[in-house]
Amino acid sequence: MLNDISLKEAFELVLKNITPTTLTKTISLNQALGEFLAEDIIAKRDAPAFSNSAMDGFGFKHSNSKKLKIIKTIYAGDKFEDFELNEDECVRIMTGAKVPKNVNTIIPIEKCLKVTDKYIEIPEIKKGANVRVKGEEIKKGEILIQKGEEITPETIALLASQGIYFVKVFIKPKIAILSSGNELKEPWEKANDDEIYNVNSHAIKALLQNKGFNAEIIGIIPDNFEKTVEFINSLKNYNVIITSGGISFGDADFIFKAFKQNGLKELFHGIKLKPGRPTMVGFMKKTLVFAMPGNPISSYLNTFFLAIPALRKLSGANKYYYNFVYAKNKNEFKLNPKKAHTALGVLKYGEWEVINNYKYGSSMLSALAKANSLIVVDEGKEKIKEDLVKIIPFNTDFVKKGMFFN
Amino acid sequence: MLNDISLKEAFELVLKNITPTTLTKTISLNQALGEFLAEDIIAKRDAPAFSNSAMDGFGFKHSNSKKLKIIKTIYAGDKFEDFELNEDECVRIMTGAKVPKNVNTIIPIEKCLKVTDKYIEIPEIKKGANVRVKGEEIKKGEILIQKGEEITPETIALLASQGIYFVKVFIKPKIAILSSGNELKEPWEKANDDEIYNVNSHAIKALLQNKGFNAEIIGIIPDNFEKTVEFINSLKNYNVIITSGGISFGDADFIFKAFKQNGLKELFHGIKLKPGRPTMVGFMKKTLVFAMPGNPISSYLNTFFLAIPALRKLSGANKYYYNFVYAKNKNEFKLNPKKAHTALGVLKYGEWEVINNYKYGSSMLSALAKANSLIVVDEGKEKIKEDLVKIIPFNTDFVKKGMFFN
């Protein structure tokens, strides 16, 4: 029988048993999106690297002089022998241009009282206005970005500004995806009415890809114990194996035994969870094995919920727990308090609604395709009320109406 | 001078003026992630395609008989000449296996009162339990997924289950990214202390990539009017051009004039927005042109906020407005009510906090790298209070602690 453990326990047990990789590679910024840093990034230069103007305007040494002679124009990128201004002088200066030695204040043209080709007249203005001072944001030598951070468009901006083009990142795991069931047809094949298509391999591969992991679809596990033992044995060079189906205790479910024959030590086999109870996670020597249920919603959800955080930890990421957002639950729905639950829903305009009152079956892919988020409920709850709930989004970025203005 | 319009107006004006592409291509599911469907997807088969068992158990015709003889075992994928059971008979049947003609109820082994090799004894059980009836989820011929939907892992699951492997999608636009400023060094070059790096091209490219759009970094616009006119003229085969810098009214800001010389008609030039005022959007014949500010946070935010929704509409997506989530704002901060504002912050565990009290400069990339979300505030607000606010996430999926259980 399945040795059901709680979902919380299952989740933590998987993460606890994962040792992050130490394998690294060096890549350039244009390949770096979605990789995890294998080193702290140290600032190579001050930011700003030189004191410069934050606006198009006139730069001067702050004093009581209110009529200033324009002695020079400085454009962004101009290089010049540094010089000092007198108190009655100013320079025309463009955004980003280096300010001369004793210029400490910039006034934009529209705040001047008078502007001619020769001079300007200015009102009172705060000393230091519109000058970005060398090093005020970042000091050379400080830690800019920490090891384990994911490289995002935002970190790429920061790295580029520092002239850091090559970064050391962790090598992501080599992942094999298998399905079980010789009856399955691939979606490019013709299936008769009494045949079904292989959904799980393709869904799991796309889900992993969406979360930054490449995986290979290896094929379909043979419906025969000896051949399966041999097949699994051939996969030991993968860091991770994800199977679906054949992991409950029906007669044809010999996948677990075939893994055991190959030295697998399971962390658990069975979770007190709906959907997705028949799930096994373990290690075959160093290879992390997820045996997911055959029902496509269960295998999707457990890959999302259990495998992705594990893959992130394995890949050296320093953030691998799902974040959540609060949303108002639109419809109360019932649960079996003896189990934990994952339920699909739609998160839109700050509200969340469970799909079909949580009455969809775990093979109903139309429910999955409608959903953009899920709720994870610990055991012991009999219902989810119309109240604030914690939601994990997965495809909520865009909607049909613009309602985001505050 | 800049002809400032409101951010709301700017946003709607851009979207209103975009005609979605009609260009399509046919691709296979394994290339389809992130593409937009150019056709309604019609169900090719019922789902389930045949009535089948939702569990491992015993199948029978519901009646008053409570002791049932096991006459056969049916595995998933087994093909057989259809047959009928007597009321005192049952079949052992596995999850997903086809049920014989008059089997209408399945009981899982653990609910049986007694199980031997020959027969089972069962308690009262609801007629229809654990049988998935042909067509109960999807009827052949109905619209499964609508034109314009983004292909996600979830829709890939649904498409695979229908044996739909080739889909028609819209061709995404060809996008050119330019920076202005001859002073810029590329991040792989060596810059002296008085030189700065090209951030915008790399940040914009990564941001577009993150949102599913490929773009080419074309180079740096010449610091000379005639050459710029010629350079822009050479880019007319792109569907979209995104430039950064040189678009306010400083002396060196001749990019706008060079676009005009090439026949550009602007929708607006200047937004009442902080940061990101000097922004121009227009059309040069059919080419959509975004001229973003030079300050890297401004150009990042306006690309995120204005360009990405436009690119989605141009690509035939049916959802192109940002969704939002509610979060409790942790720290009150002040705004200039004459402008709209976009402010960076951190969304974590249901709470949102603006970066550095909204006092970072628009060149401070460390602020951008810390942020995972933004708030968009319409003009007329003097402050954002400690209250529920609408937040647009961009990198909020993972955090350091697991707090998502309800």
Q: List, for residues A282-333, the tens digit of each pLDDT value.
A: 999 999 999 999 899 999 999 999 999 999 999 999 999 999 999 999 999 9
Beta carbons of A187 and B317 less than 8 Å apart:
no
Would you call B158 and A365 a contact, using CB atoms and an 8 Å cutoff? yes
The Cα angle at residue A284 between residues A278 and A288, in degrees rounded to 5: 65
Is the minimum CB–CB distance between B206 and chain A shorter than 8 Å? yes
CA A398 from centre of chain = 17
Q: What is the mean pLDDT of residues A62-83?
A: 92
Instruction: Give pLDDT, residue A105.
Output: 97
Residue B378 to residue A301: CA distance in whole angstroms = 38
Q: Compute the average pLDDT of residues A384-394.
A: 96
The answer to whether A347 contacts B398, with C-beta atoms less than 8 Å apart, is no
* pLDDT higher than threshold 90 for residue B248: no
- The residue of chain B nearest to residue A130, with distances taken between CA atoms, is B361
Among chain A residues, CA nearest to B185: A163
**B272's tokens:** 């009442």
Rounded Cα distance between B336 and B359, Å, is 12
Question: Do the strands A388-393 and A373-377 form a parallel or antiparallel pair, or are they unpaired?
Answer: antiparallel
Q: Is A361 exposed, middle or buried (0-12, 13-18, 19+ CB in 10 A)?
A: middle
The top-level CATH class assigned to A7-22+172-314 is alpha beta
| Cross-chain Cβ contact A405/B377 below 8 Å | yes
Q: What is the dihedral of CA A208, A210, A212, A218, to 10 degrees?
A: 30
> Does the beta-carbon distance from A161 to B194 stay under 8 Å?
no
**pLDDT of A37 above 90:** yes
What average pLDDT score do residues B376-399 get? 96
Give DSSP secondary structure letters for B381-395.
Answer: -SEE-SSEEEEEESS
For the whole prediction, is pTM greater than 0.90?
Answer: yes
The pLDDT-based confidence of B9 (bands split at 50, 70, 90) is very high
Residue A251 above 70 pLDDT? no
- Which of left, alpha, beta for B224 (phi over 0: left; psi -120 to 50: alpha)? beta
pLDDT at B362 over 70: yes
Output the CA–CA distances (angstroms, integers) from residue A109 to A122, B244, B250, in the order listed. 9, 22, 10
Q: What is the pLDDT of residue B111?
A: 94
CA distance A283 to chain B (A): 23
A321 neighbors A330 (Cβ within 8 angstroms):
no
- CB-based contact (8 Å) between B35 and chain A? no
Calpha distance B224→B384 (Å, rounded)? 44
Mean pLDDT of the region B147-175? 98
Assess whether pLDDT exceeds 90 at residue B254. Answer: no
Q: For residue A110, what is the DSSP state?
A: G
> Once rounded to an integer, what is the mean pLDDT over residues B98-109?
95
DSSP letter assigned to residue B21: P
Give the separation between CA A52 and CA A55, rounded to whole angstroms: 9
Does the CB of B234 have a partner CB in chain A at under 8 Å?
Answer: no
Among the partner residues B79, B323, B371, nearest to A194 by beta-carbon distance: B79
Q: How far is B309 from chain A (nearest CA, A)?
A: 9
**Number of residues that this document lists for chain A:** 406
A5-41 exposure pattern, b = at least 16 Cβ within 10 A, e = fewer: bbbbebbeebbeebebbeebeeeebeebbbbbbbeeb
A108 CB neighbour count, 10 Å cutoff: 16
> Would the CB atoms of A158 and B400 count as touching at under 8 Å?
no
A interface test, pick of B198, B325, B335, B390 with most A CB neighbours within 10 Å: B325
Q: Do A349 and B300 make contact, defined as CB atoms within 8 angstroms?
A: no
- Label residue B194 exposed, middle or buried (CB < 10 Å: 0-12, 13-18, 19+): middle
Residue numbers in B near A376 (CB within 8 A): 404-406
Which comes out higher in pLDDT, residue A96 or A338? A338
Average pLDDT over residues B109-135: 95
Q: CA A352, A372, B215 angle in degrees (round to 5)?
A: 135
* 3-class DSSP assignment, residue B305: helix
d(CA B257, CA B264): 9
Residue A193: name the closest of B140, B218, B148, B348 by CA.
B140
pLDDT at A252: 56
- Asked if A322 has any chain B CB less than 8 Å from its own CB, the reply is yes
- In CATH, what number does A24-46+137-170 get? 3.90.105.10
Residue B87 φ then ψ, to 5°: -65, -20
Contact (CB, 8 A) for B375 and A406: yes
Write the DSSP string, B98-147.
Answer: BPPTT--EEEEGGG-SEE-SSEEE-----TTTTEE-TTSSB-TTSEEE-T
Say which residues have a Cβ less than 8 Å from residue B124's Cβ, sequence separation at least 6. none
pLDDT score recorded for residue B181: 77
| Closest CB to B49 among A159, A196, A203 | A196
Number of H helices, E strands in chain A: 8, 30
Average pLDDT over residues B232-251: 87
Name the pLDDT band for B223 (thresholds 50, 70, 90): confident
**CATH code reported for the domain at A325-393:** 2.40.340.10
Greater model confidence, B245 or B46 = B46
CA angle B82–B86–B87, rounded 5-degree value: 130
Chain B: residue whose CA lies nearest to A136 = B364
Rounded Cα distance, A316 and B188, in Å: 26
What is the mean predicted confidence (pLDDT) over B330-336? 97
Mean pLDDT of chain B: 94
User: Does pLDDT of B182 surpass 80?
Assistant: no
Most confident of A22-36, B68-82, B92-106: A22-36
- Highest CATH level, class, for A52-132: mainly beta
Mutation site, B15, B27, B404, interface A, largest A CB count within 10 A: B404
Does an H or E element contain A229, and which?
Answer: helix A225-233
A35 touching chain B per CB within 8 A: no
Mean pLDDT (whole number) for B351-367: 94
d(CA B29, CA B173): 20
Return the percentage of chain A with pLDDT > 90, whole number.
Answer: 87
Mean pLDDT confidence for A45-63: 94
The per-residue pLDDT for B250 is: 59
A111: tokens are 């705040």
Say if residues A198 and A237 touch (Cβ distance below 8 Å).
no
Task: Answer whether A171's CB lies under 8 Å from A23's CB.
Answer: yes
Chain A residue nearest residue B7, CA to CA? A405
Report chain A's terminal Cα–Cα distance, integer Å. 54
Q: B interface mutation test: which of A30, A44, A92, A156 has the most B CBs within 10 A? A: A156
A94 vs B251: CB contact, 8 Å cut-off? yes
Specify the pLDDT at position A197: 94
Lowest mean pLDDT among A179-188, B263-272, B282-291: A179-188
Is cis: bond before A275, omega within 30 of 0?
A: yes
Q: Which CATH class is domain B24-43+145-170?
A: alpha beta
A368 chain-B contacts, CB cut-off 8 A: 154, 157-158
Q: Which of these ranges, A72-86, B107-121, B325-339, has the smallest mean pLDDT?
A: A72-86
Q: How confident is the model at residue A88 (pLDDT cuts 50, 70, 90)?
A: very high
Contact indicator for A277, A306 with CB cutoff of 8 Å: no
- Mean pLDDT within B40-47: 96
Which B-chain residues 367-396 have CB contacts (< 8 A) with chain A?
368-369, 371, 375-378, 381, 384, 389-390, 392-396
Do the domains B52-132 and B24-43+145-170 match in fold?
no
Whether the CB of B16 is below 8 Å from some CB of chain A: the reply is no
Give me the count of residues in chain B. Answer: 406
Cα-Cα-Cα-Cα dihedral of A297, A346, A391, B375, to 10°? 140
Closest Cα in chain A, distance from residue B62 (Å):
21
Q: How confident is residue B288, by pLDDT bands cut at 50, 70 and 90?
A: very high
| Residue B379 DSSP label | T
Q: What is the pLDDT of residue B221?
A: 85
pLDDT of residue A273: 96
- Top-level class of domain B7-21+173-314: alpha beta
Q: What is the tens place of the pLDDT at every residue in A340-361? A: 999 999 999 999 999 999 999 8
A1: pLDDT strictly greater than 80: no
Q: How confident is the model at residue B2 (pLDDT cuts 50, 70, 90)?
A: low
Domain residue spans in chain B?
Answer: 7-21+173-314, 24-43+145-170, 52-132, 325-393
Partner B contacted by A18 (CB < 8 A)? no
Structure tokens belonging to residue B351: 């709470």
Instruction: Kindly list the residues from chain A whose CB atom is less than 8 angstroms away from the CB atom of residue B361.
Output: 54, 132, 137
Q: What is the mean pLDDT of chain A?
A: 94
Kindly state whether B155 is in contact with chain A, defined as any CB-CB distance less than 8 angstroms.
yes
A79 CB burial (10 A radius; 0-12, 13-18, 19+): exposed
pLDDT for B283 equals: 97
Residue B171 has pLDDT above 90, yes or no: yes
Q: What is the DSSP letter of A37?
A: B
Answer yes or no: is pLDDT of A228 > 70.
yes
Beta bridge partners of B70: B90
